[in-house]
Structure 1
Amino acid sequence: MPEPNEGRKPRSREIADELRTAIEAGQYTPGVKLPSTRQLAVRYDAVRNTIDAALGILAQEGLVTKEHGRGVFVREKRPLIRLGSDRYSPKYRESGLSPFFIECAKQGKSGRFQVLSIERVKPESDLADRLKVSTKSKSVLRRENVFYADDDPVYRVTTWIPWSIAQGTGLLEEEVPHQYGIHGVFEDQGHVMTRILDEVTARMPTPTEVSYLRLPGGVPVIEVLHTSVDQEGEPYEVTKFVMRSDMNGLVYDVPVE
């Protein structure tokens, strides 16, 4: 004979299911604080450890956030910073702003970036293959930045450029001294963007990414590995975007060939 509770969900899972249903039904709206652990323990006739486990499930699912000393809140849905297929279009040049800053302005936010490092390095073999450079010498310049919308870190960006292109240019400076940014420098060096290759994946963040992006529990990242190809069909820049999935979206509007 099977045990009476065989196959039954753990009590924490049952409570998490009920709270999730209440959130999805609008009983608890975004930004609203959930009842305290003590109140939930009374409501569900459960010990506090069970309630904590239930709330932990919802946090891992990205539905709630725990704020130390304040309680547990339903996660608010934030406007997305949209990374579009036309983000490198010359049409943005007249504004004097990058597509990221334009998108921030649309939402009434102030965009900024923090330079983490600018360094000449030896590339890993996969990166060297993409850029057609050597792995035996410091053949690439690596630039690392974090982009912010107001005070929220939105994505971390790492760009690798062949040293043969970067040396002696403004790419070695924190503020690239060109009215069109790094892509203006590339064009001055004879590399006009003609084609792009974007490889998109989703994954859970590393501890370092959690720290830099201030990621709440349960929020994955979107990784975009971008390669710029010039008019001669040669790759001249690779950039990795690690993006908060709760604050970023991707928009692709391209012809089908």
Structure 2
Amino acid sequence: MTTSGPSLNQPPSRRIAEELRAAIEAGHLAPGDKLPSERALAQEYGAARNTAREAIRLLAEEGLVTARHGSGVFVREPQRLFRFGSDRYSRSNRETGLTPFRLEARRQGKEARIDVAYISREHPPQDIAERLDVPVDEDSVLHRENHYFADDEAVQIVSTYLRWDEAQGTPLTQPRTGKDGIYGRLEDLGHIMTRVRDEITARMPTPAEAAVLDLPSGVPVIEVLHTSLDQEGEPFEVSRYVHRADRTGLLYELSVE
């Protein structure tokens, strides 16, 4: 590896990271390739091992490399994205008997698993209370949290909020809600989804989210705050989707009026 003029003015760790990044981008270090050890990098660049360690940390924060315990540090391999969008709530998909996640996993030849983390009556977060028009200082919502896996790899966290006064005493409070899932039970209550509103942001994960999703350092999440509206234009369900950004893409096809 050779150094360029501008990089000589950078801290040693950033100079090492810059050259490794260039090698990855040029394909000299291909996906799956193992990086030189900290000791080897330190010798090559005439630096201390902690300097080489910092350079690798910088690359990991950018999502370019990942450490495998006991094996070393490797260039991350590109992953096929799970794509979710405007059709995920369509009746035609629901009629297959599979959730959007299970359908997408099947398309990729992966085994889907959905774990019900918990179901509880709670005070809602402020943004949820505003969208469902319920008190923020009361146990006014039912909160269902599910963790989604593909081939045992965590992909997304979904937190669904429903008005407690509607959900209480129904299968919505149980892990298994029956045919057509929660939307089937909400239709039983008179709410037919006719419109959705998705608010999409990107951010770094909370420590709890990073632990559930087993996120490598530097990988952000995509948050989709979804609101279902019924035939009366009334919001009746809000779900917060937290996706691994390195595993998920969003695809929306909208008519232009």
TM-score by length of 1: 0.94
- Count of aligned positions: 251
Find the aligned partners of 1:101 and 1:52 in 2 and give their Cα distance: 40
Equivalent residues in 2 for 1:24-43, closer than 5 Å: 24-43=25-44
Q: For residue 169 of structure 2, what is the aligned residue in structure 1?
A: 168
Which range moves more in the overlay, 139-148 or 30-39? 30-39
Q: For residue 86 of structure 2, what is the aligned residue in structure 1?
A: 85
Find the aligned partners of 1:255 and 1:84 in 2 and give their Cα distance: 14
Q: For residue 186 of structure 1, what is the aligned residue in structure 2?
A: 186
Q: For residue 17 of structure 2, what is the aligned residue in structure 1?
A: 16
Aligned-residue RMSD, C-alpha? 1.4
Matched, 1:216 2:216: yes
Matching residue's letter, 1:229: L
In structure 2, do the counterparts of structure 1 residues 52 and 125 end up closer, same or farther at CA, with 3 Å as the change threshold? closer
Structure 1 residue runs of 4 or more that deviate by more than 3 Å after TM superposition: none
Matched, 1:228 2:228: yes
Which range moves more in the overlay, 43-52 or 181-190? 43-52
Task: Give % identity.
Answer: 55
Structure 2: segments with no counterpart, 5+ residues = 1-5
Find the aligned partners of 2:144 and 2:15 in 1 and give their Cα distance: 48
Q: For residue 70 of structure 1, what is the aligned residue in structure 2?
A: 71
Per the TM alignment, residue 95 of structure 1 is displaced from its structure 2 partner at its CA by: 1.7
Matching residue's letter, 2:120: E
Find the aligned partners of 1:236 and 1:188 in 2 and give their Cα distance: 13
Q: For residue 97 of structure 2, what is the aligned residue in structure 1?
A: 96
In structure 2, do the counterparts of structure 1 residues 135 and 45 end up closer, same or farther at CA, with 3 Å as the change threshold? closer
In structure 2, do the counterparts of structure 1 residues 73 and 160 end up closer, same or farther at CA, with 3 Å as the change threshold? same
Which deviations, in whole Å up to 9, do the C-alpha atoms of 1:165-217 show, x marking residues without a partner? 2122111111212x211111111111011111100000111111111110000
Per the TM alignment, residue 94 of structure 1 is displaced from its structure 2 partner at its CA by: 2.9
Per the TM alignment, residue 42 of structure 1 is displaced from its structure 2 partner at its CA by: 2.2
Matched, 1:248 2:244: no
Find the aligned partners of 1:215 and 1:132 in 2 and give their Cα distance: 34
Per the TM alignment, residue 136 of structure 1 is displaced from its structure 2 partner at its CA by: 4.2
Matching residue's letter, 2:24: I
Q: For residue 238 of structure 2, what is the aligned residue in structure 1?
A: 238
Structure 1: segments with no counterpart, 5+ residues = none
Find the aligned partners of 1:204 and 1:41 in 2 and give their Cα distance: 31
Which range moves more in the overlay, 192-201 or 32-41? 32-41
Matching residue's letter, 1:244: R
Per the TM alignment, residue 38 of structure 1 is displaced from its structure 2 partner at its CA by: 1.8
